[in-house]
Chains A and B, each alone.
Chain A
């Protein structure tokens, strides 16, 4: 695409999503967004229909998939982390842990979701131009939708484990099935551990709420900051032209 009569400048040909590659990973979405950005920053008006309904869905799907993988990892890891913080589960082979160990457990539990959010934040530097903004918004909406689902799923899993699955009688009946293969003392120890560590699940619900809020907030902060920078860059480039 070139401006009328302008054949000297570099031409940018924005590509429709389904016409080119089906975005499977975040990098595919970045290349689509970059393509729109390069066209729009030079002042070209891209037609709304370039980002079709299918294209929007495909971009949202990428954000959704990333957040869903993070949910699959953080839902089982969160009770482990809270268990470390509340001194029920050892980390680095010891129960006698200090501030570093507890902080490490918190960072470890937050890192997967935060890592994905930080990757998404990179795309903020292209947040300028109507269609580019729309594509980025759909990516982040997909991420937010999956993060919301993760919160609901985690709340259901942790609370149903606490209230129904790990009831005293049920746990005792289940553990007794291993007797006499496992000694009574070991089973008694396992029962006591489960009963004392059970409240960790309730704390985990609050922790998932906190981590999900961060996971949603971080990309928006990055996008706002990156968007301002992109506008400044475009204004500077126009000034020098």
Chain B
């Protein structure tokens, strides 16, 4: 039988990995999404979508959201480095 307390413990990743390993995973995720090829690909796709949705389909709000996603990906790495010192 699974106790509620053990379930809560399971939800805490630090029970089965070290805090360094946990931080490393997040650093790897941020580095994969905000740097290198995937960052360029995702940012270009978001910008292209912002033009397609905002200008061609004339749905301004989703277009603006895609634009900000492109900005966040382009400058995200710089911001996370400033914020977390990674």
Contacts and interface: CB of A to CB of B under 8 A. Distances in A.
Decide if A and B are genuine partners: yes
Interface of B: 31, 34-36, 39-40, 43-44, 47, 50-51, 54-55, 58, 60, 63, 67, 70-71, 73-75, 77-78, 81
B71 A92 contact: no
Contact of A111 (B40, B50, B58, B78): B50
A93 B55 contact: no
Interface residues of A, number: 23
Grouping DSSP codes into helix (H, G, I), strand (E, B) and loop, the A interface class, with mixed when no group exceeds half, is helix
A132 to B, nearest CB: 19
Contact of A115 (B34, B67, B73): B67
Contacts, number: 63
A33 B75 CA distance: 40
Interface in A7-35: 25-27
A119 B71 contact: no
Interface of A: 25-27, 77, 80, 89-94, 100-101, 104-105, 107-108, 111-112, 115, 118-119, 122
Contact of B75 (A91, A107, A119): A91
